[in-house]
A = this chain, B = another copy of it.
Amino acid sequence: MHIAILTFDGYNELDSLIALGVLNRAGLRASIASPAPRVRSMNGVTIDATTTLAEACKADAVIIGSGISTREVVEDASIMEALRGLDPDRRLLAAQCSGTLVLAALGLLADVPACTDLTTKPWVVAAGTKVLNQPFFARGNIATAGGCLASTYLATWIIARLSGLEAAEEAMRYVAPVGEKEEYVARALGNVTPYLEPALR
């Protein structure tokens, strides 16, 4: 299984790397997919991409990360062209915070309400998507989350869908604070399970 995390210049470290850590904990290979070999975060952290946008379009699941330049990303014809292959019938698609704007720009949220952060919300609304006042929502193969730390819910959803609910619980239990593990697991599952197919709940 391969999960690609789309990460652009100006990326938010929390939004790309929390999910990466939790997914890897579940034994799912999560990679950083970028338009360039190296990308620099909104706070100056430069990381190497480990895969390309073209490879990302073949992954089992794709997370669209967030950052301060997402409005430029959706205006960049070469990037958006590279992402046309993100067909949700063939993979899971998850967007974090301003990543939701990319899903909207790809026309994938026309009939699906979505979550995003409070700063991005007006732009997602302007793109014609209904924004929910909650941390996580999924319908079918498309999920969105709002607020950096809700990235744990995107990871929980992807693990539950690809490896089962027990694997998702175990990964969240591992990364949760000592002494608060059951509380964190319960909150993550509480956010995600209502949106899993009945067979997975």
Contact = CB atoms under 8 A, between A and B. Distances in A.
> Interface SS of chain A: helix, strand, loop or mixed?
mixed
A135 interface: yes
A45 interface: yes
Interface in A100-134: 115-118, 133-134
Contacts of A43: 20-21, 24, 30
A51 to B, nearest CB: 11
Contacts of A135: 177-180
Given A43-B30, A148-B175, A17 B24 contact: no
A146 interface: yes
Nearest to A46: B48
Interface residues of A, number: 47
Nearest to A151: B177
A145 B30 CA distance: 26
A44 interface: yes
Given A20-B45, A47-B47, A133 B14 contact: no
Given A13-B17, A21-B43, 13 more contacts: A17-B17, A18-B18, A24-B43, A45-B50, A134-B178, A135-B177, A135-B180, A147-B180, A148-B174, A148-B175, A149-B177, A150-B178, A153-B177
Interface of A: 12-14, 17-18, 20-22, 24, 30-32, 42-48, 50, 115-118, 133-136, 145-150, 152-153, 174-181, 184, 187, 191
